[in-house]
């Protein structure tokens, strides 16, 4: 027998014609659905994401091919999806080759490439990747059956007008089972075809060959069986193609584009408000306010739930789930823009007033969900497909801020920031009062040239606990001979959290005032003890003309220790754990300098399960430190202390952020763990290690 296969084995012409009618109908439905999605994206504002297209394409291709973003948090899901992805890709390529060979090369030119040696290797590849495809699907189906927490949709409250997200799980199940049916019936067709003649060369189709033996053994070799199975397979394939733009399967097309057009500075640098947008509203008040890339974000969500389990606000028992915000906005956008998915329930129809459409912020997405966000970036970092939840949340917050819909305490803090330039409501003349406890004078960088300008920040300047830490930092740097100065009363709050609260106008005012002051000062490098200030000065001030080199103080201290300028005279015998601040580790990728310091001091460092880019938020960011948290079942800071206490023999909890110090010292008390673990800033450890003479600080 010729080494090849018959595509439509014993099919009458009418049956072949019916196949093509069904196939082209499915393709037509797919193209129509895809065009509607495209029209939806076109209704969004411009994103400006078309720079460096070659680099964007290659980066997205690498992420898709290696599955690096999927595997980093969940190895089982990563491997399962990897097998499904590559199985699907190879089967798709193989099916395309068959179509080209049969419908073009053979029909037009009378030639075929699916013969001989090529056909044998082709058959082997299709069987191997077909098995991988089915194994991957079974892994994901069994994983879902175990009901992992990231796939929990139980937090739905229809009385509040939320979406019934049970429809999303229906979509997931249908998606997986259709693909599994396609994979299994594909092998059955192959086995039934081989069973008729058992040609020896079909041993190159190992699965089909064994199935063929089995079918032949039970006498299941009729054309009717082959044709019936073929049509089950064909209808499943065509139904799947037609459903892609109307179901979760859309992510197969959108996710690559979403990775390609994602913002590499996502969350680290929030976009400002254009003058045109400002004429209507500072925040998002209608769907057309979203950019096309943000609308595509909604469709890219695979409902994997990684952001759901990573979110500290959700862990604390608040109403927030980053996943559900994206899904609810997708459902609402689909309803209003005419691109509904088939397997999800619709909005419950809650009205604001008499027949009035609910607002986006405070209606479709409730205020308590938006204000619960700590802007820790855990959702963005965990997302395998590049969704920017944080930008969406901040833009909806901007609408609430504009309407004055916020807690009184937050409103008072914003008023203080506007009036005094700090969140404590203190006179600017008190900003440098913490320096009075020192036995030396810190230079005024406005008047004297310095090598390092210390941007101190609010908590390090006004909070009593932060002031003590600031004096220790100043003393150790002074003893090390570092030439540094501060801005005294001219420094304002950096605005990082003001911007993430949603008060864009106030943020821009603070940023511009700080930039004007910094530009008048004479220095080479900025350093700060506040990771929040580090982030906005490094990543956002350049948009306003403020381009500076800025370090976190742990980098400066680590370098001084390496250079021998901070001599370690007392090796510490402490068993410690270290907490990575969100704005230092996750936002800016700086995780090793603090660990280098701890190790250089002779401490035994024990890592918490959640560390580095996977660190757990203290709960202070995004303005949450200025809001009430009494409604939380367990504060994020308390959850983190509990995690540290689970480590064997650890009695010191090390931090490197003034807000962390405040949050965690409070958490030790409120969680009833006083005496069990001590919160220390990393400079406290340095002070102990260099000896009392060098670290002596006169109390204010």
User: H or E stretch including 381?
Assistant: helix 378-382
* Residue 352 pLDDT level (bands cut at 50, 70, 90): very low
Count of the separate structural domains present in the chain: 3
Would you state the pLDDT for residue 349? Answer: 47
Give pLDDT tens digits for 110-127: 999 999 999 999 999 999
Are 472 and 334 in a shared domain?
A: no
Q: What is the mean pLDDT of residues 554-571?
A: 96
- 700 in a domain, yes or no? no
Are 533 and 559 in a shared domain?
A: yes
Report DSSP state, residue 463. S
Are 205 and 226 in a shared domain?
A: yes
Burial bucket for residue 20 (CB in 10 Å: 0-12, 13-18, 19+): exposed
Would you state the pLDDT for residue 145? Answer: 87
Q: What is the mean pLDDT of residues 61-90?
A: 94
Are 474 and 521 in a shared domain?
A: yes
Are 361 and 508 in a shared domain?
A: no
- 271 in a domain, yes or no? no
Query: What residues pair up with 653 in beta bridges, in sequence order?
Result: 577, 679
- Whether 694 shows a pLDDT value over 60: the answer reads no
% of the chain beyond a pLDDT of 90: 84
Task: Give, in order, the Cα–Cα distances in Å from 669 to each of 666, 677, 687.
Answer: 5, 10, 24
Q: What is the CATH number of the domain that holds 222?
A: 1.20.950.20
Give pLDDT tens digits for 274-328: 888 888 999 999 999 999 999 999 999 999 999 999 999 999 999 999 999 999 9
Would you state the pLDDT for residue 161? Answer: 62
- Whether 103 shows a pLDDT value over 60: the answer reads yes
- 6 in a domain, yes or no? no
Would you state the pLDDT for residue 438? Answer: 96
Give pLDDT tens digits for 252-289: 999 999 999 999 999 999 999 988 888 899 999 999 99
- Whether 695 shows a pLDDT value over 70: the answer reads no
Q: What is the CATH number of the domain that holds 283?
A: 1.10.1060
* Residue 353 pLDDT level (bands cut at 50, 70, 90): very low
Query: Beta strand 575-578 with 604-605: parallel, antiparallel or unpaired?
Result: parallel
**Containing domain of residue 236, as a range?**
13-253
Sheet of strand 575-578: strand arrangement: 604-605, 575-578, 652-655, 678-681
Give pLDDT tens digits for 478-497: 999 999 999 999 999 999 99
Would you state the pLDDT for residue 123? Answer: 97
Are 387 and 415 in a shared domain?
A: no
- Whether 573 shows a pLDDT value over 60: the answer reads yes
Give the three-state DSSP class for 374: coil
Cβ pair 268, 543 in contact under 8 A:
no
- 90 in a domain, yes or no? yes
Q: What is the mean pLDDT of residues 456-482?
A: 97
One-character DSSP codes across 344-373: SPPP----SSSSPPPPTBTTTB-HHHHHT-
Would you state the pLDDT for residue 310? Answer: 96
Are 415 and 394 in a shared domain?
A: no
Are 420 and 540 in a shared domain?
A: yes
Give the three-state DSSP class for 409: helix
Q: What is the mean pLDDT of residues 44-50?
A: 92
% of the chain beyond a pLDDT of 70: 95
Q: What is the mean pLDDT of residues 396-425?
A: 97
- Whether 697 shows a pLDDT value over 80: the answer reads no
436 — alpha (psi -120 to 50), left (phi > 0) or beta? alpha
Last residue of a domain, one of 370, 386, 403: 403
Are 393 and 468 in a shared domain?
A: no
Cβ pair 329, 298 in contact under 8 A:
yes
Distance CA 532, CA 586 (A): 12
Would you state the pLDDT for residue 696? Answer: 44
Distance CA 457, CA 60 (A): 38
Query: What are the tokens at 38?
Result: 């495209």
Q: What is the mean pLDDT of residues 40-57?
A: 94
Average pLDDT, the chain: 93
Give pLDDT tens digits for 538-554: 999 999 999 999 999 99
User: H or E stretch including 534?
Assistant: helix 531-539
* Residue 356 pLDDT level (bands cut at 50, 70, 90): low
Residues with Cβ < 8 Å from 299, sequence gap 6 or more? 37, 250, 251, 254, 330
Last residue of a domain, one of 186, 221, 253: 253
- 503 in a domain, yes or no? yes
Are 419 and 289 in a shared domain?
A: no
pTM score, whole prediction: 0.93
Give pLDDT tens digits for 213-251: 999 999 888 889 999 999 999 999 999 999 999 988 999
Would you state the pLDDT for residue 155? Answer: 62
Task: Give, in order, the Cα–Cα distances in Å from 438 to each of 111, 474, 597, 657, 697.
Answer: 90, 8, 24, 21, 6
Give the three-state DSSP class for 486: strand
Would you state the pLDDT for residue 437? Answer: 85
Query: What are the tokens at 334?
Result: 């689909």
- 28 in a domain, yes or no? yes
Are 394 and 425 in a shared domain?
A: no
Would you state the pLDDT for residue 147? Answer: 86
Are 501 and 633 in a shared domain?
A: yes
- 319 in a domain, yes or no? yes
Would you state the pLDDT for residue 242? Answer: 95
- Whether 175 shows a pLDDT value over 50: the answer reads yes
- 360 in a domain, yes or no? yes
């Amino acid at each position: 027998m010729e080494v090849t296969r018959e595509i439509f084995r014993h099919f009458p012409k009418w049956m072949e014609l019916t196949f093509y009618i069904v196939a082209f109908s499915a393709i037509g439905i797919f193209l129509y659905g895809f065009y509607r999605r495209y029209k939806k994206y076109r209704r969004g504002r411009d994103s400006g994401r078309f720079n460096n297209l070659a680099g964007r394409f290659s980066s997205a291709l690498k992420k898709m091919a290696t599955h690096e973003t999927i595997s980093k948090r969940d190895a089982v899901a990563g491997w399962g999806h990897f097998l499904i992805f590559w199985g699907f890709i190879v089967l798709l390529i193989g099916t395309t080759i068959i179509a080209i060979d049969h419908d073009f090369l053979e029909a037009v030119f009378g030639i075929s490439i699916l013969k001989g040696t090529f056909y044998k290797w082709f058959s082997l590849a299709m069987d191997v990747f077909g098995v991988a495809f089915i194994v991957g699907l079974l892994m994901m189906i069994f994983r879902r059956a175990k009901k992992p927490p990231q796939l929990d949709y139980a937090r739905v409250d229809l009385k509040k007008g939320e979406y019934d997200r049970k429809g999303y799980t229906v979509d997931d199940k249908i998606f997986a089972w259709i693909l599994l049916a396609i994979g299994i019936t594909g092998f059955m067709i192959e086995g039934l075809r081989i069973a008729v003649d058992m040609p020896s060369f079909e041993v190159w189709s190992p699965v089909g060959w064994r199935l063929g033996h089995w079918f032949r053994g039970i006498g299941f070799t009729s054309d009717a069986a082959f044709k019936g199975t073929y049509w089950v397979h064909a209808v499943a394939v065509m139904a799947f193609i037609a459903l892609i733009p109307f179901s979760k399967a859309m992510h197969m097309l959108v996710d690559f584009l979403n990775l390609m057009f994602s913002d590499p500075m996502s969350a680290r640098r929030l976009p400002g408000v254009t003058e045109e947008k400002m004429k209507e509203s500072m925040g998002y008040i209608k769907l057309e306010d979203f950019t096309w890339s943000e609308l595509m974000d909604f469709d890219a969500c695979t409902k994997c739930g990684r952001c759901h389990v990573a979110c500290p606000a959700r862990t604390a028992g608040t109403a927030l789930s980053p996943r559900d915000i994206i899904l609810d906005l997708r459902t609402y956008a689909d309803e209003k823009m005419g691109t509904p998915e088939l397997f999800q329930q619709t909005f419950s129809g809650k009205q604001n007033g008499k027949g009035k459409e609910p607002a986006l912020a405070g209606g479709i997405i409730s205020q308590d969900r938006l204000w619960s966000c700590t802007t820790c970036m855990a959702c963005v970092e965990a997302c395998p497909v590049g969704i920017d939840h944080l930008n969406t949340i901040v833009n909806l917050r901007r609408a609430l801020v504009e309407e004055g819909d916020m807690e009184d305490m937050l409103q008072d803090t914003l008023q203080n920031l506007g009036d005094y330039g700090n969140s404590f409501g203190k006179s600017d003349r008190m900003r440098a009062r913490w320096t009075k406890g020192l036995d030396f004078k810190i230079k005024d960088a406005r008047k004297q040239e310095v090598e390092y300008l210390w941007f101190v920040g609010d908590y390090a300047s006004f909070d009593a606990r932060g002031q003590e830490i600031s004096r220790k930092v100043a003393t150790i740097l002074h003893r090390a001979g570092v030439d540094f100065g501060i801005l005294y009363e001219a420094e304002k709050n950096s605005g990082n959290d003001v911007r993430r609260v949603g008060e864009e106008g106030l943020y821009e005012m603070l940023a511009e005032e700080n930039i004007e002051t910094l530009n008048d000062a004479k220095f080479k490098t900025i350093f700060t003890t506040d990771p929040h200030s580090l982030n906005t000065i490094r990543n956002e001030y350049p948009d306003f003309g403020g381009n500076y080199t800025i370090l976190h103080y742990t980098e400066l201290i680590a370098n001084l220790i390496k250079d021998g300028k901070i001599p370690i005279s007392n090796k510490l015998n402490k068993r410690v754990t270290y907490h990575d601040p969100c704005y230092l580790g996750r936002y800016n990728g700086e995780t090793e300098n603090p660990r280098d310091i701890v190790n250089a001091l002779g401490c035994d460092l024990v890592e918490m399960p959640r560390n580095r880019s996977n660190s757990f938020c203290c709960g202070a960011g995004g303005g949450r430190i200025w809001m009430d948290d009494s409604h939380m079942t367990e504060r994020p800071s308390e959850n983190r202390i509990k995690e540290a206490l689970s480590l064997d023999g650890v009695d010191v909890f090390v931090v490197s952020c003034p807000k962390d110090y405040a949050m965690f010292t409070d958490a030790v008390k409120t969680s009833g763990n006083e005496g069990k673990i001590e919160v220390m800033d990393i400079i406290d450890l340095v002070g102990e290690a260099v000896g009392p003479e060098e670290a002596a600080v006169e109390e204010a």
